[in-house]
Amino acid sequence: MSTSPRFVVTGASGQLGRLVVAALARRVGASSVAAVVRDPARSASLFPEGVVVRKGDYEQPETLTPAFAGAERLLLISSNALGARVPQHRNAIDAASQAGIKRIAYTSVLHADISKLGLATEHCQTEKLVEASGLDHSLLRNGWYTENYAASIAPALQHGALIGSAGEGRISSAARLDYAEAAAAALIADEGQRVVHELAGDASYTLTEFAAELSRQSGRQIPYVNLPEAEYRAALLGAGLPEGLADLISDSDAAAANGALFDESRTLSRLIGRPTTPFGATIAETLKA
């Protein structure tokens, strides 16, 4: 009988990856999970005891097939190398085929096939690569993490305003943990050639409402100030963000103004078997930290 882990997770040392590995370990046992990271020696302490830690780097295809060896199901967590994701993902998909993986789950973006988000392009290209592989697959089209907006809480408190470019667009975000638990559930249970999950929070909010909740919890008046996309991008650059990240954030906000981050299907809560985490809870946790 094989002792190889059944499930393998790439990008496992990242914020989402660590949560997915932990969720899988709780459900199927740590020894059934392999965490693929660039530097196993530095990353082993991030995972529950018993998880198998393997070296694998999207930029080093020769490391990927051995990293996937013996497993049946692969969670391909999208790379954070904007502009270089597609060839990296191709390396992982090719390696999965060579290693005998039976099913791939890929972390894409909400409504990727019709989304106006600039970052959807690379996700769509990767989805096509997954489909062309001929392997059974699940497309985990993740909506926004509430933590993406919670990252703006500290500067909002410092400057007395929350800025953005999302207008009155409604945002159906959920906590990163919600998406991690969904990925674990889908990786374990999904069957069939192609499954698509459009994943988003149960409730939606505008950034005006986000700022109002932040004001309530912090005891300070923090208004939301809506800026044109170009001005918001300039403000992000002025705050020291790299150009690529400033482009992504400002583009995403502008797309959110037109509904790109809204979804009311409640697919995420059905998949994880509980309500998604309210945005107010993430604000509270951020303020506490």
Domain range annotation of the chain: 7-144+174-199+264-277
What is the structure's pLDDT at 37?
97
Q: How far apart are CA 276 and CA 49, in angstroms?
A: 28
Residue stretches of the chain with pLDDT short of 70: 1-3
pLDDT of residue 197: 98
Backbone angles phi, psi at 136, to 5 degrees: -60, 145
**Residue 1 pLDDT:** 36
Can you give the pLDDT at residue 83? 86
105, 91 contact by CB (below 8 A) = no
pTM of the model: 0.95
Q: Which pLDDT belongs to residue 92?
A: 98
CATH 3.40.50.720 fits 7-144+174-199+264-277, yes or no: yes
Q: How far apart are CA 135 and CA 190, in angstroms?
A: 13
Query: Nearest-5° angle of CA 180, CA 186, CA 192?
Result: 160
Angle at 37 between CA 32 and CA 41, to 5 degrees: 95
